[in-house]
Structure 1
Amino acid sequence: MLASLSADDAEWAAAERPLAALRAVSTAQVRAAVRACAELGVPVVPRGAGTGLSGGANATEGCLVLDLSRMDRVLEIDAENLVAVVQPGVVNDDLKKAVAEHGLWYPPDPASAPWSTIGGNVATNAGGLCCLKYGVTRDYVLGLKAVVGGPAGEYGTAVRLGRRTTKGVSGYDLASLFVGSEGTLGVVTEVTLRLRPARRDVPHTVVGAFDSLVAAGEAVALCTRRGLAPAALELLDRACLEAVEEWKHLGLEPEAAALLLARLDAPGQAGTEEAEAVARAFAESGARWAERSTDAVEAEALFEARRLAYPALERLGPVLTEDVCVPRSAVPAMLARTEETGRRHGVRIATIAHAGDGNLHPLLITPPGDEAARRAAQAAFEELLAQAVALGGTVTGEHGVGLLKRGGMRAELGPEVCAMQEAVKRTLDPLGLFNPGKVVGAPGS
């Protein structure tokens, strides 16, 4: 069991031997475990479903792996105030289904939504297909309960951060500080989430086929310049489409170098006009064809292909997953640099992207057991991080820093900001108990 709980899905991120694991079922159990670990000097590594892609949940030597996946209850759905209160082990899609019964919607929708947990989504500030228009996890976290140490009192103290109200500026926004902190400041045991009224069926899908990735990127930049606001704007290259079709036989015809998929949910005539404007932007950017889909089944198959791209490519060999995000005007340049980097290092790179918000996921695929290919992929990975920063972007849009991107983060933020982050960590976790070596830890530490 310990081996299965020692690492997430990040390829080649180091995982060490834990001392023990605990599958907690309550905040009280988490408090007792943290208190005991503090007394014994045992690090605590929180874990959800283990779907992370940066090594953020990987065990450190002699740690306690604190598995929160069994804390999986939806504690409250307050339809009157558009709020849900959940434990961290609730699976994203399960929450969506639960609130849908009340005519409500929880928008953050990472591709891992059928498996990933709300706690993990909070830890990495997960986004997804809808985040272009509707925001990421941080936009929906009103408050949370966390087991902490440091100035809050003895280790094992449970505190409530944030609130249930729509507005509130009483003190520092500590709840937001915990979102994206990857378990390095404490253990989240409950989350209060903002909800939205359920959407009607999304009426418009626009598909564009391009002969190059860069042309698809130009279409994204043009949509941004024209102020178009799709609910989702996703990119898949030919390699992704071929892998999905070979696996799932969805009836796709991956002839183009890249597809752009746009969903628009404005009602009535406004939605129709916006869909037509997106199709024009695609065509003016060099699409070989751009059409509004009139077949709901076909449109859903294309978005299903987008969600299946990563597991389909995993079947071909180890996949090292990038998560860079650049300004939307820089999407064409980043796509060009990705292709050039792959050619120069001799690495096969397939690309999927939340293209509408500049969040690109180059997937570096290597043959199993090929050590030279592995080294080349790791060199290309680091270079792509540097390329994103050079274009004014960030090394991670939603997967987190974990172990794999600590060097890239330090290059992005600079020594002064990194020092501020380390000061926050020392203040809230003076023993260095919570998920040590992740995020703020120096590479190689």
Structure 2
Amino acid sequence: MLSQTVINRLKEIVGENNVVTDKTGLFSYSYDGTLLSGDALGVVSPQTTEQVVELVKYLNEQNIRLVPRGAGTNESGGSIPVENCVVMNFARMNQILEIDTENYVAVVQPGVINFDLQVELEKKGCYFPPDPSSYKASTLGGNVSECSGGPKCFKYGVTRDYILGLEFVLPNGKIINTGGRNFKSEPGYDLTRILCGSEGILGFITKIIVRVIPTPVTTRTMLATYNKVEDASQTVADIVAAGIVPTTLELMDNLLINTTEDFCHAGLARDAGAVLIIEIDGYPSDMDEQVKTIGEITKKADAREFRVAQSAAEVNQIWASRRCAFGSVARVRPSYGVNDITVPRSNFPKAIEGILKVAKEFGVTIGVVAHAGDGNLHPLILFDQRDAEEVKIVHAAEQALCKMALGLGGTISGEHGIGLVKKKYLDSEFQPVAMEAFRKIKRTFDPENRVNPGKIVEV
């Protein structure tokens, strides 16, 4: 519990309306996108870098730790408050500071919602490709911290590929600036890359310089429907083998088809084993030939239907099903555990087989949605968290999924991060010398373990 003296000082720094200490107000900051929760001593919402610096220095003096937080959509427990912590909420640092179309650069504060940036860029003929499924809620600061991906990352890459520089407040309250506005590598060590994906354990992002690109001239969206999920997964491998690089290749299995249909009525075939959402972009002269080739590939893989969206409304209808996939499973079971295992694209069909095997072996229900183009799978294990025995089985199944991905040359996390949820699996992927390197980086930035303690690695 914070003393009144501390509360008064926090209010002096950020303003009375930007400090939360009552039990009801704190509840909203106790959880994220996982089933985990924790209790914060308080919540502070700075609006400037200077306020962040003051908060860090003052709370250091009080020996109180800090947990950075954006929109709370994190899927790995990375923004859960633990160990005598105050949450630093960046949602009110939400200004788009600059959009420079001449140099294809935008400068934003960390609390800017991904979708809000997309809307402003669209007005200027540009866009920011990393668009996680939570893009209408998640913040750019959170996207950077987790190195988020999204449907377009097969062709365009993930968040780190679009971050040119950062303004960053260290755990001691000092400010550093990494990178810059140009596209060349910065001199010396690439600190921007170290900070991007560091999950908030090294300090506080207060400004982000992002690279943006021109909006594609033409986009074509296709939907392929299959009787078997294995046929859909084979199509993914065949499209890549044909040398075509779609913007997106998104897969949903029968379970997700039906839960999304219950919610958004996108017109998907309820008896289908799987669907693929395929999108390409580029110049008009390139589109017809690629669409024709993709159609032939889907037919070869026994697709029962292949259609090309003929209007913006039809495109939005197709994408509505994918965007609501995670939340829609609540119609089946009250809880779900979302994984983000990733395998080399060539092993995507084997990963699908592995997920089906885990579901059968542990007797659990698993729905599959995937950024199939880059091998990033999101198996959703459905269960009831009130059943302690069932929770144990789910955790065992999650471990089996991670082991399966590693066995196929993959990783335990493609974009959701490690946080608290996958911390116990990290040393299965990395050798002891690498794990110690991670700990040394944490100790270098944060020798007293004051920022987001307990996440990723123990120090």
> What TM-score comes out, normalization by structure 2 length?
0.92
Q: Which amino acid aligns with 2:240?
A: T
Q: Which amino acid aligns with 2:279?
A: R
Partner Cα distance (1:85, 1:298) in 2: 33
Partner Cα distance (2:330, 2:89) in 1: 25
Q: Which amino acid aligns with 1:161?
A: T
Aligned-residue RMSD, C-alpha: 1.5
- 1:220-369 alignment runs, 5 A limit: 220-316=236-332, 317-367=334-384, 369=386
Give 3-state SS (helix, strand or coil) of 1:138's partner.
helix
What's 1:374 paired with? 391
Higher deviation after alignment, 218-227 or 319-328: 218-227
Partner Cα distance (2:393, 2:61) in 1: 44
**Aligned-pair CA distance for 1:295:** 5.0
Partner Cα distance (2:320, 2:408) in 1: 31
Match of 1:141 among 163, 169, 185: 163
Give 3-state SS (helix, strand or coil) of 1:364's partner.
strand
Do structure 1's residue 56 and structure 2's residue 78 form an aligned pair? yes
Do structure 1's residue 21 and structure 2's residue 43 form an aligned pair? yes
Say whether the 8 Å CA contact 1:19–1:61 is kept in structure 2. no
Give 3-state SS (helix, strand or coil) of 2:115's partner.
helix
User: Which residues of structure 2 form unaligned runs of 5+?
Assistant: 1-24
**Aligned-pair CA distance for 1:215:** 1.7
**Aligned-pair CA distance for 1:327:** 0.3
**Aligned-pair CA distance for 1:141:** 0.4
C-alpha deviations, 1:390-430, integer Å up to 9, x for none?
A: 11001111111111111222211121111111111111110
Q: Which amino acid aligns with 1:71?
A: M
C-alpha deviations, 1:255-310, integer Å up to 9, x for none?
A: 21100110011322321111111122222223223333435433331221011101
Partner Cα distance (1:146, 1:114) in 2: 25
Percent of paired sites with the same residue: 37
User: Which residues of structure 1 form unaligned runs of 5+?
Assistant: 150-154
- The count of aligned residue pairs is 434
**Aligned-pair CA distance for 1:16:** 2.8
Partner Cα distance (1:160, 1:418) in 2: 27
Say whether the 8 Å CA contact 1:279–1:292 is kept in structure 2. no
Partner Cα distance (1:240, 1:50) in 2: 24
What's 2:33 paired with? 9
**Aligned-pair CA distance for 1:368:** 5.4
Do structure 1's residue 176 and structure 2's residue 223 form an aligned pair? no
Partner Cα distance (2:116, 2:413) in 1: 26
Say whether the 8 Å CA contact 1:18–1:59 is kept in structure 2. yes
Give 3-state SS (helix, strand or coil) of 2:31's partner.
coil
Give 3-state SS (helix, strand or coil) of 1:21's partner.
strand
Give 3-state SS (helix, strand or coil) of 1:2's partner.
helix
Give 3-state SS (helix, strand or coil) of 1:17's partner.
coil
Partner Cα distance (1:387, 1:269) in 2: 42
Say whether the 8 Å CA contact 2:218–2:284 is kept in structure 1. no
Partner Cα distance (2:290, 2:450) in 1: 51
Partner Cα distance (1:327, 1:101) in 2: 36
Higher deviation after alignment, 282-291 or 347-356: 282-291
> What TM-score comes out, normalization by structure 1 length?
0.94
